[in-house]
Amino acid sequence: MTHHHEDPRVISLESEHYNARLMRREDQTSDLATFWVRYEGEPVPFEPGQYMTIGVYVDGKLVQRPYSVASAPAVAGEEGYEFYVRLVPVMRFTTLMWRLPVGHEMRMIGPKGKFLLEPDDDRTHLFVSTGTGIAPFISMIRQLLAAGKPRRTVVLHGASYADELGYRDLLEGWQRDRTYPVTYVPTVSRPADPRNTGWTGRTGRAEAVVQAVCRDLGLRPEKTVVYICGNPEMILNVEAILMDHGFPEFHVKKELYWPKGKTVPAPDGGAPARPALESPAAS
Ligand SMILES: Cc1cc2nc3c(=O)[nH]c(=O)nc-3n(C[C@H](O)[C@H](O)[C@H](O)COP(=O)(O)OP(=O)(O)OC[C@H]3O[C@@H](n4cnc5c(N)ncnc54)[C@H](O)[C@@H]3O)c2cc1C
């Protein structure tokens, strides 16, 4: 497995194209972290659900990737843009990001993307994600909360381990205090693993529980809009299950973080299950 500290590439300290700076970083596990990147000048407006592309120069070449913004637009000037990122053990961009010291300059462009809330949508919002795919939903809720226009929301978030459930405290807090009308449904896919000892919530992958969640919470196809983000296999599986249960296609919106069928090499350094290819956003 390629670890970030084994990545020997030298990240350029300076470039005339750098326009932003890494302001802050918080590690959740050894391979999940939140990064805040701020423009040197005025922030660029974005809509929740959109992504920015961030990068650094290595050997004169820009290495950059797109990331959904997790923060609300209003804080972009002060805190910057918040990104929730998983370290992928291949020597591409995230191994550079993990080695980047706070204060380092970066290049950031954007926003882009059409994974957006509909204006004045009074349907129940079902947000389904795995891993870092929860990021755009956090931005959406933060924005609706700030605007004083909450929407009835169900957040179904899948992870392998309970300690990977990013934004859990925030979501549990909103639900507990009724700050936001959200029902938070975390699920772990490896309940027997010692890392999940003590877990009492749902178990199984997001696609395995989504139908039960709809049934238990009384989510009716005609009154629900579904947003699915993250792993492409999960997205297409969840979509197929929902279609089978009467959700019209136009009630389902999707954001795929990489093309279906492309995985990284096996963690033990063995052959990949499928070819490991560059993402479409690769520089
Ligand atoms: C619109 C869009 C928004 C995105 N937003 C985020 C985000 O908010 N957070 C984030 O971590 N990633 C996000 N990604 C993925 C991100 O752009 C990178 O692909 C990822 O960080 C890995 O970068 P890399 O250069 O190390 O490897 P890459 O060469 O880009 O990817 C190699 C392989 O890693 C796997 N992979 C990629 N992203 C992930 C991931 N998030 N979790 C698990 N496996 C992954 C895939 O199998 C992919 O083929 C987004 C992608 C797109 C297209």
pLDDT in the model for residue 274: 39
Question: In 3-state terms, what secondary structure has residue 223?
Answer: helix
Render pLDDT for 22-36 as a digit per residue (tens, 0 to 9): 999 999 999 999 999
50 within a domain of the structure (yes/no): yes
Residues 52 and 65: their CA atoms lie apart, in Å, by: 8
pLDDT in the model for residue 22: 98
Name the closest-CA residue to atom 29, ligand 1: 278
Would you say residue 248 has pLDDT above 60?
Answer: yes
283 within a domain of the structure (yes/no): no
Q: Return the H-helix or E-strand segment holding 137.
A: helix 135-146
Domain identity same for 140 and 215: yes
In ligand 1, the atom with minimum distance to the C-alpha of 277 is: 49
Domain identity same for 245 and 138: yes
Domain identity same for 251 and 145: yes
Q: Give distance in angstroms: CA of 259 to centre of ligand 1.
A: 10
Name the closest-CA residue to atom 3, ligand 1: 67
Name the closest-CA residue to atom 30, ligand 1: 279
- Ligand 1 neighbour 167 (Cβ under 6 A): no
pLDDT bin (cut points 50, 70, 90) of residue 261 is: confident
In ligand 1, the atom with minimum distance to the C-alpha of 97 is: 26
CB 155 within 8 Å of CB 184: yes
Number of domains in the chain: 2
In ligand 1, the atom with minimum distance to the C-alpha of 83 is: 8
The CATH code of the domain that includes 223 is 3.40.50.80
Residues 37 and 51: their CA atoms lie apart, in Å, by: 13
271 within a domain of the structure (yes/no): no
281 within a domain of the structure (yes/no): no
Would you say residue 276 has pLDDT above 50?
Answer: no
269 within a domain of the structure (yes/no): no
- Ligand 1 neighbour 39 (Cβ under 6 A): no
Average pLDDT over residues 156-182: 98
Average pLDDT over residues 15-24: 98
pLDDT in the model for residue 268: 44
Residues 68 and 227: their CA atoms lie apart, in Å, by: 14
pLDDT in the model for residue 270: 40
Residues 161 and 148: their CA atoms lie apart, in Å, by: 33
> Which of 14-28, 43-57, 203-217, 246-260 shows the lowest per-residue confidence on average (mean pLDDT)?
246-260
Range of the domain at 249: 124-256
Domain identity same for 134 and 249: yes
pLDDT in the model for residue 265: 58
Render pLDDT for 83-134 as a digit per residue (tens, 0 to 9): 999 999 999 999 999 999 999 999 999 999 999 999 999 999 999 999 999 9
- Ligand 1 neighbour 278 (Cβ under 6 A): yes
Q: Return the H-helix or E-strand segment holding 168.
A: helix 168-177
Q: Are strands 224-230 and 252-256 parallel, antiparallel or unpaired?
A: parallel
Q: In this predicted model, which residue has the larger pLDDT, 249 or 182?
A: 182
Q: Give distance in angstroms: CA of 171 to centre of ligand 1.
A: 23
The DSSP string of 51-111 is: EEEEEEEETTEEEEEEEE--S-GGGTTTT-EEEEEEPPSSTTTHHHHTTPPTT-EEEEEEE
Name the closest-CA residue to atom 11, ligand 1: 85
pLDDT in the model for residue 53: 98
Domain identity same for 144 and 226: yes
Would you say residue 6 has pLDDT above 90?
Answer: no
| Percentage of the chain lying above the pLDDT 70 cut | 92
Q: Give distance in angstroms: CA of 65 to centre of ligand 1.
A: 7
Which token pair is 149?
A: 């226009």
Average pLDDT of the residues of the chain? 92
Task: Out of 45, 77, 112, pick the residue that ends a domain.
Answer: 112
Task: Out of 64, 79, 112, pick the residue that ends a domain.
Answer: 112
pLDDT in the model for residue 250: 82
The CATH code of the domain that includes 53 is 2.40.30.10
pLDDT in the model for residue 80: 98
In ligand 1, the atom with minimum distance to the C-alpha of 90 is: 26
How many Cβ atoms from other residues are within 10 Å of residue 77's Cβ? 12
Would you say residue 249 has pLDDT above 90?
Answer: no
